[in-house]
């Protein structure tokens, strides 16, 4: 991926404690010299259970990129800056790491998939699969 600013979106699924979740998100990231910085928002909704609630979380992101064979792999750390459930503030301050593969999909556009995730706060692997798109913004 070229240096510059990108907007991205993704959609997917995750599992926690045997329950399936729908996961969506958007973000802004800047790539400069292989380093990533930015901001991220995601929402998660349980797909099972009578007490399912929407969880919305904000993150700062940092990371790095590496390219090979037409693909770019990004390793990103997501540090929670705020969380709420249906408007009620939550004391969640998790740090997550993820890897993502990007492939060019046109001028300034990239398709992406997740290729690994870990919850650093809980010291466990995260069962998660997402796909999406990143678009380079004009500066």
Predicted TM-score (pTM) of this structure = 0.92
pLDDT of residue 36: 98
At 59-100, the pLDDT tens digits run: 999 999 999 999 999 999 999 999 999 888 887 788 999 999
102 token code pair: 């990007």
Q: Which residues contact 50 (CB under 8 A, 6 or more apart)?
A: none
Q: Alpha-carbon distance 46 to 14, whole Å?
A: 9
Q: Alpha-carbon distance 29 to 137, whole Å?
A: 10
User: By the 8 A CB rule, do 54 and 85 touch?
Assistant: yes
pLDDT of residue 120: 87
DSSP readout, 27-63? EEEEEETTEEEEEEEEEEEESSSTT--EEEEEEEEEE
Q: Alpha-carbon distance 39 to 120, whole Å?
A: 18
DSSP bridge pairs for 65:
74
pLDDT of residue 123: 86
What domains does the chain contain, in order, with CATH numbers?
Answer: 4-136 (2.40.160.20)
pLDDT of residue 108: 95
């Amino acid at each position: 991926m070229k240096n510059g600013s990108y907007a991205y979106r993704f959609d997917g699924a995750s599992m926690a404690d045997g329950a399936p979740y729908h996961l969506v998100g958007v973000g802004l990231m800047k790539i400069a010299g292989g380093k990533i910085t930015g901001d991220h928002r995601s929402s998660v909704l349980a797909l099972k259970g009578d007490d399912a609630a929407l969880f919305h979380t904000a993150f700062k992101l940092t990371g790095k990129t590496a390219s090979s064979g037409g693909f770019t792999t990004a390793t990103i750390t997501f540090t929670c800056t705020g969380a709420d459930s249906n408007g009620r503030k939550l004391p969640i301050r998790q740090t997550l790491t993820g890897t993502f593969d990007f492939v060019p999909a046109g001028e300034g556009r990239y398709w992406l998939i997740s290729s690994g995730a870990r919850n650093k706060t809980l010291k466990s692997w995260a069962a998660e699969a997402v796909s999406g798109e990143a678009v380079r913004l004009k500066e």
